[in-house]
Amino acid sequence: MDITSLTIKEMRSKLDSREISSPELTKAYIDRIKAVDGSVESYITVTEEGAMAAAEAAQKKIDAGEATALCGIPLAIKDNICTDGVKTTCASKMLENFIPPYNATVMEKLEAENIVMLGKTSMDEFAMGGSTQTSAFKKTKNPYDTSRVPGGSSGGSAAAVGADLCAAALGSDTGGSIRQPSSFCGVTGLKPTYGRVSRYGLVAFASSLDQIGPIARSAEDCGIILNTIAGYDPHDGTVSKNPVDDYTSKIGMDMKGVKIAIPAEFYAEGIDDVVKKTVLAAADKYKTMGAELVECSMPSLKYAVAAYYLISSAEASSNLSRYDGIKYGHRSDITGNYNELITASRSEGFGDEVKRRILLGNYALCSGYYDAYYGKAMALKQKIREEYNEIFGKCDMILTPTAPTVAYGVNENISDPKKMYQADICTVTVNIASLPAISTTCGYDEKGMPIGMSLIGRMWDEASIIGAADAFEKNFDRIAAKI
């Protein structure tokens, strides 16, 4: 087996037994990136020199017998997570030359474990999109079929994991941006509970919904990474002081007696038949493992996309007001007064989708429209939370498709924002309700494209959904992308 397709757990064992070294592993990824990434376009920046130096440092720790879980493991980082001294573009012309003067807290935590950062991955501009085709730099392709999208917004991270261009990656998830690309690229992605992982240094899109999480080749690997990045951070007031669990503690869990909810609305009109059938077949598989399937309902799902876009765009319009071209970011050459300079800088720096979200956010918050849109969306947020609470009163976890379709062609949907937004129906309620959810592959369509299912857990109970996803993965033959 090629060392680039191992799981983190397998790499750890080979690194610790000196079967392979971290520099050797890192070099194998760098070589593969050079050979393959021209067609996948998953990385915006490859940090070859830094990666090799980090690998040498990690190897010293390994040789001294001081290696921790992620020591010497080559990872990719989504390009909206600040990396001290390494360009962080958010896939936007606005931040094309932005070099953060500090590390995000997750980077501090990963560097303390001596990980090897291979580079920064492409994404939809400012994480706004589900295809990675709004990236100003690299319009990433799906490793299973390069004529299709990898999903988004963490499409670069998911494609890099799926194409064996890193051991695992970090993404961020505001309305499905970790889970949906993981589904499209045939890998496993975890969106942690809101407040489980610090957002300090994550370029803000919608602050009440954004959360950083791992994308990997297995649920167990997601748990290993979460163990490192979770926890309290004085720099982010929304991070919980709840103790950090061992998120691999339920690996190998017995599914007997576990109650899995199947909410009817997630399997209704608008979800492709092949997706529905495959996810329901996965539910049956859980049943044969001893789990109990419980039919249930989430009546507010039909309003969820609207509520999500109103809340996230309202927050985005405020968060993105910081880009004035003066302190950092693109500054227009057009000379004029203060307002003219800011307007020109923003108009030149932001792409079309980002502008649409800002306009929508301003509309939702406008005097005269606030109650009808933003106020109603916030009321729906409360209703969706209540409906989840009701389900969790009777069940342990919820099983849904991750996306209504498999990955679509690179030129489909892009010019139709309405169609793009509606495709988020399966994922947005999880962010609205602050819950954790994991997506893993549960089958392939007739053309071999991966189909993902999501397990949604109670707040702070990442360990159970990781355990349940692992139980499925152990009984499932994953077909790797042939790139």
Partner 1 sequence: MDHDMVRYLAKLAKLSFTDEELEQAVSDMTSIIEIMDTIKEIDITYDPLKDNHNVYLKDLRKDEAKPSLPTEKLLQNAVQSENCFVVPKVVE
Active site residues: 78, 153, 177
220-239 footprint of partner 1 as x/- string (CB under 8 A): --------------x--x--
Give whichever of 225 and 364 is closer to partner 1, judged by the CB atom. 364
CA-based diameter of the chain, in Å?
70
Beta strand 259-263 with 397-401 is parallel
Kindly tell me the sign of the dihedral angle through the C-alpha atoms of 200, 205, 211, 215: negative
Please tell me whether residue 367 binds partner 1 under the rule CB under 8 A.
no
Provide the minimum distance between the beta carbon of 337 and partner 1 in the complex, in angstroms, as a whole number. 6
Residue 214 Cα to chain centre, angstroms = 7
Count of positions on this chain that bind partner 1 (CB under 8 A) = 63
Please tell me whether residue 389 binds partner 1 under the rule CB under 8 A.
no
Cβ(465)–Cβ(159) below 8 Å: no
Provide the minimum distance between the beta carbon of 85 and partner 1 in the complex, in angstroms, as a whole number. 10
Give whichever of 252 and 336 is closer to partner 1, judged by the CB atom. 336
**Which of 179, 186, 181 minimizes the C-alpha distance to 144?**
186
Query: Of the candidates 50, 331, 476, 480, which one interacts with partner 1 according to CB under 8 A?
Result: 331
What is the DSSP-derived secondary structure letter of residue 267?
Answer: G
291-330 footprint of partner 1 as x/- string (CB under 8 A): ---------x-xx-xxx-xx------x---x---xxxxxx
Please tell me whether residue 383 binds partner 1 under the rule CB under 8 A.
yes
Instruction: Give the separation between CA 189 and CA 455, rounded to whole angstroms.
Output: 11
Provide the minimum distance between the beta carbon of 49 and partner 1 in the complex, in angstroms, as a whole number. 20
Query: Of the candidates 2, 288, 335, 446, which one interacts with partner 1 according to CB under 8 A?
Result: 335
Instruction: Give the separation between CA 335 and CA 347, rounded to whole angstroms.
Output: 14
Please tell me whether residue 358 binds partner 1 under the rule CB under 8 A.
yes
Residue 22, CA distances (Å) to 65, 83, 116, 406 in order: 14, 21, 8, 35
Give whichever of 203 and 483 is closer to partner 1, judged by the CB atom. 203
Give whichever of 21 and 105 is closer to partner 1, judged by the CB atom. 105
H/E stretch holding 221 reads: helix 219-229
Instruction: Give the separation between CA 86 and CA 104, rounded to whole angstroms.
Output: 12
Residue ranges in 407-466 that form contacts with partner 1 under rule CB under 8 A: 416-418, 421-422
Alpha helices in 233-351 (DSSP H): 273-288, 301-319, 338-349
Site of tokens 């009321």 = 379
Provide the minimum distance between the beta carbon of 346 and partner 1 in the complex, in angstroms, as a whole number. 5
Provide the minimum distance between the beta carbon of 119 and partner 1 in the complex, in angstroms, as a whole number. 20
Query: Of the candidates 256, 339, 477, 482, which one interacts with partner 1 according to CB under 8 A?
Result: 339
Give whichever of 17 and 337 is closer to partner 1, judged by the CB atom. 337
- Decide: helix, strand or coil at residue 399: strand
Read off φ and ψ for residue 395, nearest 5 degrees: -135, 165
Tokens read off for 301: 């799902």
Please tell me whether residue 342 binds partner 1 under the rule CB under 8 A.
yes
Provide the minimum distance between the beta carbon of 349 and partner 1 in the complex, in angstroms, as a whole number. 10
Please tell me whether residue 356 binds partner 1 under the rule CB under 8 A.
yes
Please tell me whether residue 404 binds partner 1 under the rule CB under 8 A.
no
Provide the minimum distance between the beta carbon of 383 and partner 1 in the complex, in angstroms, as a whole number. 6
Instruction: Give the separation between CA 220 and CA 416, rounded to whole angstroms.
Output: 37
Give whichever of 210 and 353 is closer to partner 1, judged by the CB atom. 353
Residue ranges in 100-129 that form contacts with partner 1 under rule CB under 8 A: 101-102
Please tell me whether residue 136 binds partner 1 under the rule CB under 8 A.
no
- Cα–Cα–Cα angle for 200, 204, 207, rounded to 5 degrees: 85
Q: Beta partners for 259?
A: 292
Stretch that binds partner 1, among 163-171, 265-273, 368-376, 463-471 (CB under 8 A): 368-376
**Which of 282, 219, 292, 287 minimizes the C-alpha distance to 258?**
292
Read off φ and ψ for residue 455, nearest 5 degrees: -110, 120
Query: Of the candidates 12, 139, 346, 458, which one interacts with partner 1 according to CB under 8 A?
Result: 346
Instruction: Give the separation between CA 74 and CA 266, rounded to whole angstroms.
Output: 36
Give whichever of 145 and 353 is closer to partner 1, judged by the CB atom. 353
Cβ(465)–Cβ(421) below 8 Å: no
End-to-end CA distance of the chain: 15
Cβ(168)–Cβ(216) below 8 Å: yes
Provide the minimum distance between the beta carbon of 359 and partner 1 in the complex, in angstroms, as a whole number. 5
Please tell me whether residue 378 binds partner 1 under the rule CB under 8 A.
yes
Q: Which residues bind partner 1 (CB under 8 A)?
A: 97-99, 101-102, 234, 237, 241, 300, 302-303, 305-307, 309-310, 317, 321, 325-331, 335-344, 346-347, 350, 352, 355-356, 358-360, 362-364, 366, 372-373, 375-380, 382-383, 416-418, 421-422
